[in-house]
Structure 1
Amino acid sequence: MIPAGIDTSALLTMLGLIAAVWAVVPSTARLSFRLSLNWFDWLVIWAALLIIHGFFFEPVLTTLGFPTFGPWLWGFDKSTTQYLLFLLLAAFVYWRSRRTRLTRWNLGLFDNLTTSLLHAGKHEELADLLQRHLASALDLAASKSVRSHLANAIRPPRPGFQVVFQDDGSITLGAGAPTSWLFRKWFSFREWLADLVGPSQRVQRRAASVVKRLLSSRRLVGHLAIARPYLCMEVMERATRVEEGFQDEFFDALLANEASVFYSELKNNDNFGKSGHRLALPDENRLVRFYCVDVDVAARLGVFRSVGEAVLARIDADEVLEKKLNGPLLTFQYVGKYHDPVHAGIWFFRIMVLEGLHQRVADHLWLHYMPHFARRLVDRAREVRPEDENHEFPTPLAYLLYEVVDATAVWVRDAEVLTKPGDVLLPDQRKGNHIHISFEAAEAIGRVIQDILMSPRVPRRLKGELLGVALTTLRNLEQREHLAALARVMRAHLIEPYGFQKQDNYLDILKQCFDEQDHVRRACLERFSEELDAARGAAL
């Protein structure tokens, strides 16, 4: 009897299907697939394929003397077993593709894949890849693990000569290195062993180069800021060490898009906390909490510069924003401000600096951006119109000036809830229960008021109201004896702000606006009036 032939039609169908699919899969998807699998995964895949082929060629293997698989159990036969193995293999590949970890062994593939996606403009695919691997890439770029320390201990010392690491793994010893063959072999062996134990310097440099190239892409960072803001937040501290401008681009992109998480979180922070004007930090406001729960993080990362410069750039260069800010107020005070980049920047500073004050941080957190905001705003304001005197805030820009003054005044006023009668407070005090930020704000508010009063583009009524906010704060300080030092600093800088020049007419304008204040308020500020008159007399 002639034995039946081996039916390989099912096998050919499956192999043809795999080949056809692989042929039409984009190169980036192929790289992603290869990145998902390490040498052990490939061992499992090839072992499963060999077993499956073993079932197909069982008659041949039996003839050659290989043992058979024995009697079938639990109702399985050869066909169902082949199908089950294919199913398990597909499930294994899918599972491994979701649990890929970036290592020094597949860093080259990651480099090629991210380069392809970046230059092809596939930012969403790249963002998904970075969601899984950016933290690992940053870890490779600055490895501080136990294995890394052990590798450094194994790596040979090289005083007096340079070592050049090539991308292909070879090592070239520079001038001054010993020429002994034995030394060079021993040196290369120790380097190889160190690379086997932990990431080499070559790997760290390449990882840093990959991360720097990705995070320096303005378009990619803009996409990540909107689509993956919390990924950026999680890696921010390490990312800024590799690419210094990453945080700046991140906040610039957040402010440029009204739908970003930055606007929604700041709107959700419009509520008071436990004491004073301190604002609560809800758990869902993850980005704001990252910087403000421990304000030392904000100080260390310099977020005030990133936000401050982004706001100033929008004021200076955004013509559409300028037109909107100089238009009618309408509902800006209650609704529109939550979609405005300038208000977002002011409100973020308000939250951050208040947290710094209440956490007793001995750093002004660059609250002195407030005078810059005020100066740029008045420079972009339109000419005053007669009807402006009939409105409290004739334009959104006028309302933003109020927010600048009010935020700066709040940092001064909260000194009241953080101190008690009998406390000795000094401007240069940085330890203990100090109010360093309040003293800094008392200096900054003078410059804010000067820019507003000196501008011909600010209505007279608005000048009086904004000066009134500052004077009310000063009056409250003077009514508390233990805050006399703070009141003295505020009086001095309202009269002579830093950068004050005696040749301008600021003191005359200040005197005129002060005389137009409510008589009760002026009566409570006799010392301020006396010092203002003395300064005007000295300037003559």
Structure 2
Amino acid sequence: MNPAGIDTSALLTMLGLIAAVWAVVPSTARLSFRLSLNWFDWLVIWAALLIIHGFFFEPVLTTLGFPTFGPWLWGFDKSATQYLLFLLLAAFVYWRSRRTRLTRWNLGLFDDLTTSLLHAGKLEELADLLHRHLASALNLAASKSVRSRLANAIRPLRPGFQVVFRDDGSFSLGEGAPTNWLFRKWFSFREWLADLVGPSQRVQRRAAIILKRLLSSRRLTGHLAIARPYFCMEVMERATRFVEGFQDEFFDALLANEASVFYSELKNNDNFGEGGRRLALPDENRLLRFYCVDVDVAARLRVYRSVGEAVLARIDADEVLEKKLNGRLLTFHDVGKHHDPVYAGIWFFRIMVLEGLHQRVADHLWLHYMPHFASRLIDRAREVRPEDENHEFPTPLGYLLYEVVDTTAVWVRDAEALTKPGDVLTPDQREGNHIHISFEAAKAIGHVIQAILLSPRVPRRLKDELLGVALTTLQALEQHAHLAPLARVMRKHLIEPYGFREQNNYLYILKQCFDEQDHMLRAHLRSFSEELDAAWGVVH
């Protein structure tokens, strides 16, 4: 008999508070909470709650013959112990929520939670969730762990018949499967045991479906590109295996936002490194270093396509950009260029291809995007005005054409820093201390110059100046006997871009602009003059 009764007011207060909080918690937060806890965590939580309730109902348990907790130590009494247990339980739940791991057991909850957040437009919450769990989801979708290999060894072979997997995890044997009861039981047991050891094929397939849905979302990718670009970089290589366009959308979002890390890193990456015109890659430029420190990464992920197509799309479709590029130059070449998507794309190619050249990569890294940049810019140029001949660069677009020519020329000219007298160089050399990229750039610069000279929307003064950049590069090559093969390729493609003699007046304009160059430059380019005259004579 307990005349004092059992005081459950504190317990009712706590339970009422928990119920009230749980009632107003959003469904996404509930899913996140459930995702954070596994069966062992729930075991700990229920055990702690039972012990706390045990303190409240101690008189009843004593009457029923259960042992008491014994004498209190260190000054603790029942109330202090109950408070401490609640405090430890809250700390445990918080700690577990910060150390959640995505496994095949809670993949369904992860699917429900990400779907809810995505469709509700809660992109920052979803980004935080992916920051913690995307790597685990990628691991589940392409599991190559020891446990996965062991599970595959246990999983039964299926020669001659198909196994149909259902969304609820069950499966059935298709046509051609043996009907023997013992075989089917043994088959089912091995499938169950394999699933217990490592992720099953249906788990991998479901994880892949979740990843494709998330990484294919333009809104989510755009948010991640601006808010968490370095996180995207960490998972880029694995993410592109599931959604090929993830990297394309990533760079499209970076170029569309002048405040993105892409612009800030490119602005911070204009200091010369060691050798030639190679640019240094500061440690803080994590995005550029990811692709360019080992430029094989850029080649493997085909980042040149992502950046190149994003730049071309902006040139073609951005009417505001077109108006800006055809406006007054003002301080564009000092300040404005650092906020321009076309300049950002050109400068990224400059850094990447220079790294490829100095790392002796036998891949042109699609430096042939430069002629495309030039021709698309020219297509968007305004009509020439009489006063344009009074300015070196009458518009920002004219300055960008200069950057295209100068960048392509730099790739050619840096062959000087990478070779020495006596080296035998050939255009098809891909091994050893080759300069494959310089030969490819020597081909591309001819097509760039052709697009510029043939356009009626480029002022004559600018045509002469841009041709002069290419010819000065050619002159520098012809001063070195061992670079004669490279100079020969450049001469050929300046006269016949990409080896084709088109039926237009290109040679006529080229000869006119060449004759207007400085007489000292023309005197040093006797071979080019003779070859140009020969080609002109064949045409006429």
TM over 0.5: yes
What amino acid sits opposite 1:104 in the alignment? Answer: R
- Once the two structures are superposed, residues 63-93 of structure 1 have per-residue CA deviations (whole angstroms, 9 ceiling, x without a partner) of 0000000011111000000000000000000
The CA distance in 2 between the partners of 1:331 and 1:95, in whole Å, is 53
Within-5 A mapping of 1:291-440:
291-440=291-440
Q: Does 1:133 align with 2:120?
A: no
* Counterpart contact for 1:315–1:377, Cα < 8 Å: yes
What amino acid sits opposite 2:364 in the alignment? Answer: H
1:143 is matched with which residue?
143
What is the CA distance between 1:2 and its match in structure 2?
5.9
Within-5 A mapping of 1:184-333:
184-333=184-333
SS at match of 1:498: helix
- Once the two structures are superposed, residues 261-292 of structure 1 have per-residue CA deviations (whole angstroms, 9 ceiling, x without a partner) of 00000111011101100000001100000000
The CA distance in 1 between the partners of 2:115 and 2:181, in whole Å, is 40
1:474 is matched with which residue?
474
What amino acid sits opposite 1:36 in the alignment? Answer: S
The CA distance in 1 between the partners of 2:79 and 2:156, in whole Å, is 58
What is the CA distance between 1:501 and its match in structure 2?
4.1
The CA distance in 2 between the partners of 1:167 and 1:131, in whole Å, is 27
What is the CA distance between 1:499 and its match in structure 2?
6.8
What amino acid sits opposite 1:533 in the alignment? Answer: D
* Counterpart contact for 1:502–1:539, Cα < 8 Å: no
SS at match of 1:172: strand
The CA distance in 2 between the partners of 1:90 and 1:499, in whole Å, is 74
Q: Does 1:84 align with 2:87?
A: no
Which runs of 5 or more structure 2 residues have no equivalent in the other structure? none
The CA distance in 2 between the partners of 1:450 and 1:160, in whole Å, is 61
1:52 is matched with which residue?
52
1:515 is matched with which residue?
515
The CA distance in 2 between the partners of 1:500 and 1:463, in whole Å, is 21
The CA distance in 1 between the partners of 2:138 and 2:91, in whole Å, is 30
Aligned residues: 540
What is the CA distance between 1:500 and its match in structure 2?
3.6
- Once the two structures are superposed, residues 84-104 of structure 1 have per-residue CA deviations (whole angstroms, 9 ceiling, x without a partner) of 000000000000000001010
What is the CA distance between 1:502 and its match in structure 2?
3.2
What amino acid sits opposite 1:322 in the alignment? Answer: E
What amino acid sits opposite 1:85 in the alignment? Answer: L
What amino acid sits opposite 2:196 in the alignment? Answer: L
* Counterpart contact for 1:477–1:483, Cα < 8 Å: yes
What is the CA distance between 1:168 and its match in structure 2?
1.2
* Counterpart contact for 2:292–2:298, Cα < 8 Å: yes
The CA distance in 2 between the partners of 1:428 and 1:156, in whole Å, is 51
What amino acid sits opposite 2:191 in the alignment? Answer: E
The CA distance in 1 between the partners of 2:90 and 2:2, in whole Å, is 37
What is the CA distance between 1:363 and its match in structure 2?
0.2
SS at match of 2:497: coil
The CA distance in 2 between the partners of 1:2 and 1:474, in whole Å, is 105
The CA distance in 1 between the partners of 2:132 and 2:197, in whole Å, is 24
The CA distance in 2 between the partners of 1:312 and 1:428, in whole Å, is 30
Provide the aligned C-alpha RMSD in A. Answer: 0.8
Overall identity of the aligned pairs, in %: 89
Q: Specify whether residues 2 and 177 from structure 1 end up closer, same or farther in structure 2 by C-alpha distance, changes over 3 A only.
A: closer
- Once the two structures are superposed, residues 212-239 of structure 1 have per-residue CA deviations (whole angstroms, 9 ceiling, x without a partner) of 0000000000000000101110000000
The CA distance in 2 between the partners of 1:146 and 1:2, in whole Å, is 60
- Once the two structures are superposed, residues 378-414 of structure 1 have per-residue CA deviations (whole angstroms, 9 ceiling, x without a partner) of 0000011111111111111000000000000000000
The CA distance in 2 between the partners of 1:49 and 1:33, in whole Å, is 18
What amino acid sits opposite 2:232 in the alignment? Answer: C
The CA distance in 2 between the partners of 1:262 and 1:437, in whole Å, is 25
* Counterpart contact for 2:492–2:499, Cα < 8 Å: no
SS at match of 2:355: helix
The CA distance in 2 between the partners of 1:11 and 1:252, in whole Å, is 56
What amino acid sits opposite 1:319 in the alignment? Answer: E
What amino acid sits opposite 2:208 in the alignment? Answer: A
1:462 is matched with which residue?
462
What amino acid sits opposite 2:75 in the alignment? Answer: G
1:23 is matched with which residue?
23
What amino acid sits opposite 2:533 in the alignment? Answer: D
The CA distance in 2 between the partners of 1:536 and 1:193, in whole Å, is 79
Which runs of 5 or more structure 1 residues have no equivalent in the other structure? none
What amino acid sits opposite 1:213 in the alignment? Answer: R
SS at match of 1:152: helix
* Counterpart contact for 1:143–1:204, Cα < 8 Å: yes
Q: Does 1:182 align with 2:182?
A: yes
What is the CA distance between 1:169 and its match in structure 2?
1.5
The CA distance in 1 between the partners of 2:469 and 2:503, in whole Å, is 26
SS at match of 1:164: strand
What amino acid sits opposite 1:471 in the alignment? Answer: L
The CA distance in 2 between the partners of 1:498 and 1:274, in whole Å, is 32
What amino acid sits opposite 1:73 in the alignment? Answer: L
The CA distance in 2 between the partners of 1:275 and 1:462, in whole Å, is 30
Moved more, 74-83 or 499-508: 499-508
* Counterpart contact for 1:405–1:448, Cα < 8 Å: yes
Moved more, 393-402 or 168-177: 168-177
- Once the two structures are superposed, residues 274-333 of structure 1 have per-residue CA deviations (whole angstroms, 9 ceiling, x without a partner) of 110000000110000000000100000000000000000000000000000000001110
